[in-house]
Chains A and B, each alone.
Chain A
Amino acid sequence: MEYIIKNGNVFDPANNINGEKIDICISNGKIVEAVKDSAKVIDASNKIVMPGGVDLHTHIAGGKVNLGRLLRPEDSKDFYESKVGNKRSGSGFSVPSTFMTGYQYARMGYTTAMEAAMPPIMAKHTHEEFLDTPLLDKGAYDLLGNNWFVMEYLKEGNLDECAAFVAWLIRVTKGYAIKIVNPGGTEAWGWGGNVQGINDPVPYFDITGAEIIKGLGKVNEMIGLPHSIHLHCNDLGQPGNYETTLKSFDLLKNIEANPKYGERDTSLHATHVQFHSYGGTSWRDFESEAPAIADYVNKNDHIVIDVGQVTLDETTTMTADGPMEYDLHKLTGFKWANVDIELETGSGVVPFIYSPKSPVSGVQWAIGMELFLLTNDVNKVVLTTDHPNAGPFIRYPTVIAWLLSNKYRTDLIENSLHPWVQKKTSVATIDREYSLYEIAQTTRSAAAKVLGLSETKGHLGVGADADIAIYSFDPETQDPSTEYHAIEEAFARAKYVFKDGEIIVKDGEVVKPEGYGRTFWIDSQYDSELENKVVEDVKIKFKKYYSINFDSYRVHDEYIRKSSPIKLS
């Protein structure tokens, strides 16, 4: 099927197109130069046309997501959709079921979403949930910051062995990137503790967070992965943690990006930085240090961040940062689930209520906004809510509207949020508003580039996958700054969404629910001889410590519907 999208106001930052009326031609799932006269015409006049949204940090599949569903049946009580034709039923506000996850992303014009935390031993579970997550292209990051093998290789200074191990592990688990969560801290949690900052040695392994971060940062570039290391810093959510955050950022400063695929030019992706930009010494004198963090990002070119914007909802927190979740449980008294994941990592799940009236929640909201608004180059700051940790992804349209409208933010600050927002943060003094071009950067092109997927994702140039969102908002006659509810509604329910050249959403409803997107994974081998040696080590440890057999570890091809390996030479 061929299509031509005519007369839309196109926002395609990767190709420097800023609202101009350009026709987009689609053939065979790709964006092409021209189509035949028989191509079906989609009239996009008075509408916004953007590439499909790219979410580079979300939790939608795997062990802890499912644990969240189990822990929170009440999350499904008032939030569900029924079966319509081939579209499945589903439920869950902050931890939606798999099918609904696909439909909800698609309705907002998002077509790629990356699961940001896959314990390698849970890779099969993650991919099994991907099997039932329709419409989206996806991938999963392997949790490696508390892995016994990684810690031992790095401790001994065996970077080559570590690279051989990591490349092998990512390949056999069909993962996409190196994820580091509270490096060393989750292993310390296995001993009932945590680490403080980046220089606190891990029990038994006697290695520090700094050594893990730096080591994996080097390993990442030795393998040449498309994405940089994806770092959830130490001390998440603790007042005063911004110093740890800045020190962690600096560890990667002199490591050069060396992707063997894609156009990434940064060596660090720091995730949900909102949770890591806190000043003060306790919750009583808690305050924003987002300006210091944004200043660092502005002055350094090795880093991209995503925000983890608080959306002021009741949600579910879930992370491999086991000790943090325990602290949260003790702080709130809310129910808590905890899992130890053998030689690899851990995880915790706790519900949380970000109440607009709460001083801390308000400041967290403001810190997220400050990070967006004080980072000069939007290519360095990606929109996320760390779904569902700071809020569910279905709130992205609201976050977009906040960024587009100072009035929307001011109304919220003055009428709904706690006065701490104005005392402890600078958000009320910032009148910057994102342009629609910048929205397309923070939700599309910047994410695609840092993932290494910018050849086919996050833009509308010839050769891109025909993943396209069309929104009912006329940038020539409507001003998002004042009509923020209209733009919010437009982004919540796209007029049309194309996935690989097919219309999957029309008028905000999923019209083609049965399609499945790709699973991206990295097919690489660092050094075949070294890998054989490393795998022999791994086999011995498997016999000794793992609860499963070595041969059951590998994710077989049957676990993937539409395999899209990226082969690194």
Chain B
Amino acid sequence: MNEIILTPKEQPSVPLELLNVNPDTVAGKSIDEIRQIKIAHGNTEVELSEFFNVKGESSENPSEIRIVIDGDVYNTKRIGYGMQSGEILVKGNASMYVGTEMKGGKIVVEGNVGSWAGRDMEGGELIIMGNAGDYVGSAYRGDWRGMSGGKITVHGNAGNEIGEYMLGGKIEVKGNATTLAGIHMNGGVLVIHGDATTRVGGEMMNGTIIVKGRIDEFLPGFKYHGIEKNIEIDGEVIDSSFYKFEGDFAVKGCGGIVYANASKNGHIVP
């Protein structure tokens, strides 16, 4: 791996957007050329070097490039936008839209991220060591065709409406998720290791949601199918007992599945 190191100078109050700084777009460019890549700063364009010190070594082959953002970029959006190969490592926080429309490669963010991480993701891997905001792995606002592939892992907590209109791929949240996880979900797998406050799987059509913690308040549109042990999802066996639900019957033709940990969810079983 050749590393290109972007050291943030100072995060401006008007956000930056790194739309076009990923291994695919920097491949074959010299460090000097990378410094001159135009990035969005509000409604103006600036060179990358205005807000980042750039060093390291590029490569012709994007899959041999790791871009390291060596610091906190809490006001920088769209890191890894549309990325197809290679790696991006953010050694701090990042703002909204990390890994949006990602197709391949790998992104690791060591801190927290804003909303819309992995929005419309098609492939690759997105790992967030801290917390994520709302709409992790969701569809574009208004669209009914969301994340179709790849894997997102959030080691901390996630916000509202994660996996919205998800079609495929996998989202794993190690911490808790808040309202309407898996809303309108239509495929794929969503695993929440912690608690999921309310309305898990609202209007879901298809796909599978596993909640290992507690669901505070469940929706009435789900049919209870009894207890299932050692469930197998994506070739992986999860060895606990789960209440199995099917729904959401608020929508016609639904066939979504919600598994809720039996040891914590007695209150939602009919």
User: Is the A/B pair a real complex?
Assistant: yes
Distance of B264 from chain A, by nearest CB (Å) = 34
CB neighbours (8 Å) of A71 from chain B are: 142
A134 to B221 CA separation, bound complex (whole angstroms): 49
Residues of A within 8 A of B253 (CB): 333
Q: Is the CB of B144 within 8 A of A77?
A: no
Interface bits B133-171 vs A (CB < 8 Å: 1, else 0) = 000000111111000000000000000000000000000
Residues of A within 8 A of B143 (CB): 74, 77
CB distance from A562 to the nearest CB of B (A): 31
Contact call B144/A73, Cβ cutoff below 8 A: no
The docked-state distance in angstroms from the alpha carbon of A398 to that of B140 is 29
Chain A residues, Cβ within 8 Å of B141: 73-74
**Beta-carbon contact of B252 and A333 below 8 Å:** yes
Q: What are the residues of chain A within 8 A of B144 when measuring CB–CB? A: 334-335
- A72 touching B142, Cβ below 8 Å: yes
In the complex, which residues of chain A have a beta carbon less than 8 angstroms from the beta carbon of B252?
333
Report the nearest A residue to B253, measured CB to CB: A333
- Complex Cα gap A192–B251 (Å): 21
Interface size of B as a range: under 10
Count the A-B residue pairs with Cβ separation under 8 angstroms: how many?
A: 18
Q: Is the interface of A mostly helix, strand, loop or mixed?
A: loop
Which chain B residues border A335 with CB–CB below 8 Å?
144
- Interface 1/0s, chain A 55-91, versus B by CB < 8 A? 0000000000000000111110100000000000000
Which of A71, A333, A335 has the most C-beta atoms of chain B within 10 angstroms of its own C-beta? Answer: A333
Nearest CB in chain B to that of A351: its residue: B144
- Taking the closest CB of chain B, its distance from the CB of A9, in whole angstroms, is 44
Q: How far is the CB of A333 from chain B (nearest CB, A)?
A: 7
Cα A405 to Cα B253 in complex, Å, equals 43
In chain A, positions 299-335 with a C-beta closer than 8 Å to chain B are: 333-335
Task: Tell me how far the C-beta of A283 lies from the nearest C-beta in chain B, rounded to whole angstroms.
Answer: 17
Report the minimum CB–CB distance from A76 to chain B (whole Å).
9
Cα distance A74–B141 in the bound complex, in angstroms: 6
Q: How far is the CB of A80 from chain B (nearest CB, A)?
A: 13
Chain B residue at minimum C-beta to C-beta distance from A335: B144
Q: Report A73-120 residues with CB < 8 Å from chain B CB.
A: 73-75, 77
Q: Which residues of B contact A334 (CB under 8 A)?
A: 144
Known: A72-B142, A73-B141, A335-B144. 14 other contacts (CB 8 A): A71-B142, A73-B140, A73-B142, A74-B139, A74-B140, A74-B141, A74-B143, A75-B142, A77-B140, A77-B143, A333-B251, A333-B252, A333-B253, A334-B144
Residues of B whose CB lies within 8 Å of any CB of A are 139-144, 251-253
Closest 5 CB pairs of A and B: A73-B142, A74-B143, A74-B142, A73-B141, A74-B140
A-B contact pairs, 7 of them (CB 8 A): A72-B142, A73-B140, A73-B141, A73-B142, A75-B142, A77-B140, A77-B143
